């Protein structure tokens, strides 16, 4: 028979092991943060700093917000400020914090048959519609899709985007793959574009318009709404990604020497 103290030590070890396993959270986020490779860069550093594992569920921003509203995530990390502020106003989080930004770009075939090249996204979309040029929309209620619809509205072409307009109902990477395969125009976040390998004939045609600014926010899901939320662990993630270490990690993520995201959490 094992000595009592040995059994007690074993039991304590099992309890500690169980506690360690409990150190994990679910983050509902966007396909752009996942497909750009950012989380692959950030999460090992967060795990090393805190011991907490993070499971990222990458969806369109609208779907990610719905997931957080249901209480199926501990943290929400997305890029649609209006929708994020409504999430907070509706009581699903106590606070929204800005984390980082990059920008959207319009990519399209190098030959640019619709003559969109320049710095004006609204003028470019008007030309796409007028030319009935192929355009692949995510059509998935994501932050990128929401931005695209805003730009179409500014262009006065909400209901008349041209016969080449198609919605894929898919993430940013698949939308770019379809665009590459069909030589179509696509609105994309720059981060996913820089990490995208299957470009074919696609190049960046429109960039630099202030309206293409793309802000990301992070929110801890409210335990008052959903008691199962891992508040302590989720708050550690929020604090880390908006703190000095997380902000430095975001700034250091580069592809081909080009920075994908720019930290701008309030200090």
Note whether residue 7 is domain-resident: no
- Helix (H) or strand (E) holding 202, with range, is strand 202-206
Note whether residue 29 is domain-resident: yes
Please, which residues have CB within 8 angstroms of residue 143's CB and are 6 or more apart in sequence? 30, 32, 60, 61, 78, 79, 80, 83, 214
- For the chain, residues with pLDDT lower than 50 are 1-5, 7-21
pTM comes to 0.85
Residues 203, 136 share a domain: yes
Alpha-carbon distance of 145 to 219, in angstroms, equals 21
Q: How far apart, in Å, are the Cα atoms of 53 and each of 39, 47, 62, 70, 236? A: 12, 6, 24, 21, 11
* DSSP 3-state percent helix, strand, coil across the chain (nearest 5): 45, 25, 35
Domain range for 128 is: 102-212
Last residue of a domain, one of 212, 234, 253: 212
Residues 186, 239 share a domain: no
- Helix (H) or strand (E) holding 25, with range, is strand 24-30
pLDDT of residue 158: 67
pLDDT of residue 175: 96
Tokens of 63: 């779907």
Last residue of a domain, one of 212, 227, 251: 212
Q: How far apart, in Å, are the Cα atoms of 107 and each of 39, 49, 102, 201, 203? A: 24, 38, 16, 10, 5
Note whether residue 12 is domain-resident: no
pLDDT of residue 187: 98
Q: How far apart, in Å, are the Cα atoms of 38 and each of 13, 199, 240? A: 35, 20, 15
Residues 193, 111 share a domain: yes
Among residues 196, 231, 243, 220, the alpha carbon closest in space to that of 28 is found at 220
Alpha-carbon distance of 107 to 200, in angstroms, equals 11
pLDDT of residue 22: 52
Q: Residue 32: which CATH number?
A: 3.40.190.10
Please count the structural domains in the chain. 2
Residues 106, 95 share a domain: no
- 144 in Cβ contact with 151 (< 8 Å): no
């Amino acid at each position: 028979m094992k000595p009592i103290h040995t059994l007690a030590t074993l039991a304590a070890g099992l309890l500690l092991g169980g506690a360690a396993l409990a150190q994990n959270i679910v983050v509902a986020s966007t396909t752009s943060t996942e497909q750009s490779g950012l989380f692959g860069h950030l999460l090992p550093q967060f795990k090393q700093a805190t011991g907490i594992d993070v499971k990222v569920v990458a969806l369109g921003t609208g779907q990610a917000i719905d997931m957080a509203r249901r209480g199926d995530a501990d943290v929400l990390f997305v890029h649609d400020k209006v929708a994020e502020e409504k999430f907070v106003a509706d009581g699903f989080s106590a606070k929204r914090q800005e984390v980082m930004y990059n920008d959207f770009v319009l990519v399209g075939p190098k030959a640019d048959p619709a003559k969109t090249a320049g710095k004006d996204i609204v003028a470019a979309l008007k030309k796409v519609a007028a030319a009935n040029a192929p355009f692949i929309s995510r059509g998935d209620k994501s932050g990128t899709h929401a931005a695209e619809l805003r730009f179409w509205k500014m262009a006065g072409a909400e209901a008349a985007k041209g016969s080449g307009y198609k919605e894929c109902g898919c993430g940013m990477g698949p939308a770019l793959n379809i665009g590459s395969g069909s030589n179509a125009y696509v609105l994309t976040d720059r981060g996913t574009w820089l990490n995208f390998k299957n470009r074919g004939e696609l190049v960046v045609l429109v960039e630099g318009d202030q309206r293409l600014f793309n802000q990301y926010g992070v929110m801890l899901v409210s335990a008052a709404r959903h008691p199962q939320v891992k508040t302590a662990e989720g708050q550690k993630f929020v604090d880390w990604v908006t703190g000095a270490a997380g902000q430095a990690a975001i700034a250091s993520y580069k592809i081909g020497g080009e920075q994908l995201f720019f930290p701008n959490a309030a200090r």
